[in-house]
Each structure stands twice: as C-alpha cells, then as structure tokens.
A = this chain, B = another copy of it.
Amino acid sequence: MAKVLTSKEENYSQWYNDLVIKADLAENSAVRGCMVIKPYGYAIWEKMQSVLDGMFKATGHQNAYFPLFIPKSFFSKEAAHVEGFAKECAVVTHYRLKNDEKNGGIIVDPDAKLEEELIVRPTSETIIWHTYKNWIQSYRDLPLLINQWANVVRWEMRTRLFLRTTEFLWQEGHTAHATEQEAIDETDLMIHTYAEFAEEYMAMPVIMGSKSETERFAGAIDTLCIEALMQDGKALQAGTSHFLGQNFAKAFDVQFANKEGKLEHVWATSWGVSTRLMGALVMAHSDDNGLVLPPKLAPIQVVIIPIYRGEDQLPMISKTANRIKKELEAKGISVKYDDRDTHKPGWKFAEYELKGVPVRIAIGPRDLENNSVELARRDTLSKSVIKQEGLDVFVENLLSEIQENIYKKAFDFRAQNTHTVDTWDEFKDIIENKGGFVSAHWDGTSETEQLIKKLTKATVRLIPLDNKKEEGKCVFSGNKSEQRVIFAKAY
C-alpha cells in the first residue's frame, strides 16, 4: 500500500494534519475554524472523558451545567479578566430569522435584536460566579467543588484540528473555598490529577509548574500547568489549574459567613483540559505509519484479521478468531474481528496501523494447524508467532508492556531533548536548531521574557513545581537569577 501520510521528517505539520484526517479522528467543517470530531476520534475522547470524570469524582467533585450564553456586561466585571482575556468571541445579537420575501431564502429579522448581546462562552468563570452568589451564604456551603463538561468558543484566526479550533470541547472545574490555603491546595491537587492522567493514561510525560506572569490566565493569581514535549521539539500546554484568589468573588460579590458569623469573600480556583489533549496524544507518540495509541485509551485494543484463500477457509478461521475474541473480552480487552470480504489483509494491516490499534492478531490456515497466531505490536512494529494457549494472559501483559514502552519512549525523547544552558549563544542555537526544552536562568522580568520571545520565539513554559533554588545569572540579561526555568517554542 502506498504511504498515505507525509513523513514527519519531510513536514511535521503536514504529517499531523494528514494523520488526523486519514486516521478518521477529525476534519474541518463547513464553519470556519470549527471541526467535526469523527466517530473514531470521538471514541478516544470518550475514553479520556470517562477516566478524567472518574478522577474528578474520586476527588469529591460533582458535575453541573451552566448556560452556553453569557451577558456581555458580565465580562466587564472582573478587570483583569476583561483586559487580558481574548476578545475574539462569538456574539449573538438577534434571536429570529424570517423568510426573505424579495429574494427567497431566509434573513435575520431586524426586529429581533437583543437588548444586550450574548457571548457564546469562551470560559465560564463569570456566569458561574454570578450563580455562586446565590449558592453560597455560609461556611457550611463550602467547599463547592463543581465541574462542567461543555463546548466553548474562541474566535481563532489561525486554527488547527484539535490544537486550536474556534469551538472545542473541554471540562472546566470551578471551585469555591473558605480559605486561601484550601484553594491553593485544590489548584495543586488538580494539576497533579492532570499530570497523573497524562502520564498514566496518555503515556505522555509532563512537567508541572507555574506560568510566568505574562502567560497567566486573565484574572488568576497563579496559573499552574502541565507541559509536554512533542516529537518536533515544541512544547504543548496540556492542562491548566488556576488559583483565582478572591478576584471573582469580589467581582461578583460572593461572600460567606464564617464560623464566627463574619462575612468574608470566597476563594476560588478553576481548571481545565480540552480536546487539545487529542492533538497532544497524536503528536506525542505517532509515526509515519500512523497513530500509536496507548492501550489504555485505544477504542480497539486488539484487532483480529483472518488470512484466507477462498471462502471455504473462512468458517474455520472465524471459529478460532471468535473464540479468541471472547477470551480476550473476558479479560476486559476491547477486540474487533474484521472479517470483511471487501478488503484484503494487506489493506487491513495498513488501516489498523494507521489507526494505532496496539495489537494485531492474524490467523491463517497454518496457524490453525499449529494452534498459533501471528501477533504484531503497533509500537515496535515487531511480529511474532504465539501459541493460542494462554494467549489471553499474554495479550493482557503485552498491553501493559506497550503502555509502559510508549511512555518510556516519550520519556527518553524528552530527556534527550532537554538541555541545560548557560550562555545566550547556546540558548539561541538550541532553540533554533535543535528544539526541545531549555533549562536556563531567567531574571524573572516580563521585559526579558518578551525580548527572548521576540528574538527566538521561545517563551517561559513554566517554573517547575518544587524547583531547585540555584543562584545564577539570567541567560539573556546577565542579571541575578534565583532559579532555572523551562523555555521552549510552543504550540
């Protein structure tokens, strides 16, 4: 079969686009910047959702649902939020269409203009804190630990499937606490939850840390994030958790009576991950043959393909294949038996490689004779002949091994592409020619950060949590620095 993907080497960006489309993950829609998430892509997203939702609930959170629309005036209430947050929003101005009597078709009814425009939520802090005002009176109402699964819209000028789209799907947690420390702990808990998800399920190593002031969420006191390294040496921010202080509580006048009956403003956090994780998953592991999915998130973990000549061989093979399928399913493994006669085995092999199915089992007449199967791993592309007896246990262990191996590969890649740098020349050279994470001293000023960005396109990705304090000189300004931070070019 001809290669269906541009190679990574040739054009990483094109490789990514090809892969997302060819592997049936998503495609561009008729609406600028909005994507259609196709069934195979959506099945992966559902697995992500299911795991994350379980983690949120295990840490005491409940789901709820808030309106899609936010009155325009709400955005003006928190000064930093309105100043810093992207104003590229979808604005609803009318509520009715009518027939166009002159030209046919339909037009917007000019008589149905809204008194106040509504914004399609780009994030929900404002509408949620407006709501919390009525939910919170006393310390007994706290903490309030709420999450929402929703679609949001940010009018992006340059979009890329999953990585940056006008509409995307996400979850946004919004919690309210009686004390500052409790809110800080929550912010910390959730970034650790995201890190655990990224590493354990996506097999994607991440660094946790704080954003610099310029990269902080508009309205936050502190923004924690997880950053992963993609195969092209660029960083990707995969999740954020914000400590919002009392900013939104003050903006929306949310106070509670403490145990002594005194009124205090509530402390807040918000945190989110989105369908951007799909892009991270693709870019962290995949190769020129297609997706490489970690078994824990693969919609199909094992595919079985019959190899036969002539219709009469198929029934015997199917009997064995279906038995094996049942045995694997009894272990909680998801299996597809693809006995379609419309496609040849070679085509199917390439197809499931493209789709990143972790394990492929092929069964032909000779396998029936030998009570064996041919088994191929997607991560290493290696093949071996395995006895049918005990195959279920073998595959179960193999899936764990693949999960670990994918993680290890990404971990080693990151180790090889993380550079400790002490001079500006070296900094520029690595950022320009090698990419990856650069650990360097920074004087902590936004001014330096902006200049570095202007000159190299690299930004401070994060100041790692529990960062080692180490006296040094800023790699750019030469000014005093108390710690190294992580720089990289980023998605």
Contacts and interface: CB of A to CB of B under 8 A. Distances in A.
A163 interface: no
A34 interface: yes
> How many copies of the shown chain assemble into the complex?
2
Interface in A100-145: 104-106, 108-109, 117-120, 127, 130-131, 134, 140
A93 interface: yes
Contact of A89 (B29, B64, B95): B95
Interface string A173-193: 000000000000000000000
A342 interface: yes
A138 to B, nearest CB: 9
A37 B140 CA distance: 21
A82 interface: yes
Contact of A76 (B29, B89, B105): B105
A67 B29 contact: yes
A31 interface: yes
A67 B35 contact: yes
Interface string A61-101: 01111111111111110000010000111111111111000
B118 A104 contact: no
A62 B27 CA distance: 17
Contacts of A93: 91-94, 108
Consensus secondary structure, chain A interface = mixed
Contact of A69 (B46, B94, B97, B167): B167
A123 to B, nearest CB: 14
A42 interface: yes
A34 B69 contact: yes
A239 B372 CA distance: 50
Interface residues of A, number: 64
A397 to B, nearest CB: 28
A39 interface: yes
Interface string A36-75: 1111001101100000000000000011111111111111
A260 B136 CA distance: 67
A467 B104 CA distance: 41
A70 to B, nearest CB: 7
A424 interface: no
A41 to B, nearest CB: 8
A169 interface: yes
A46 B63 contact: yes
A23 B87 CA distance: 38
Nearest to A92: B90
A65 B36 contact: yes
A43 B62 contact: yes
A388 interface: no
Contact of A167 (B45, B68, B105): B68
Contact of A65 (B42, B117, B342): B42
Nearest to A90: B92
Nearest to A105: B76
A37 B65 contact: yes
User: Which among A39, A65, A76, A134 has the greatest number of chain B C-beta atoms within 10 A?
Assistant: A65
B36 A131 contact: yes
A119 B107 CA distance: 11
B117 A120 contact: no
Given A34-B68, A36-B65, 7 more contacts: A30-B71, A36-B66, A37-B65, A43-B62, A43-B63, A75-B106, A87-B109
Interface of A: 27, 29-31, 34-39, 42-43, 45-46, 62-76, 82, 87-98, 104-106, 108-109, 117-120, 127, 130-131, 134, 140, 146, 150-151, 153, 155, 167, 169, 342
Interchain residue pairs A-B with the least CB separation, the first 9: A34-B67, A39-B62, A37-B65, A91-B94, A95-B155, A76-B105, A87-B97, A93-B93, A90-B92
